[in-house]
Amino acid sequence: MNALVVLAAILFILMALIGRGKGIRSFLAIFFNFGVIFIASFS
């Protein structure tokens, strides 16, 4: 596994345990923003 994937999984688990629903929504928002920036950088 890639180190970045492992760190993202750890972040997701911790956010889900500590923040419950808000943590999961925040993680999805971070993931979505990263995707938008990644796609915009190649346009």
| Helix (H/G/I), strand (E/B), else coil: 1 | coil
Helix, strand, coil % (nearest 5) of the chain? Answer: 90, 0, 10
Q: Give the list of residues 6+ apart from residue 11 with CB closer than 8 angstroms, or none.
A: 27
pLDDT category of residue 5 using cuts at 50, 70 and 90: very high
The span from the CA of 12 to the CA of 25, in Å, is 10
pLDDT at 1 over 90: no
Check pLDDT > 90 for residue 6: yes
| pLDDT tens figures, 13-34 | 999 999 999 999 999 999 999 9
Q: In the structure encoding, which two tokens stand for residue 10, read together?
A: 């750890």
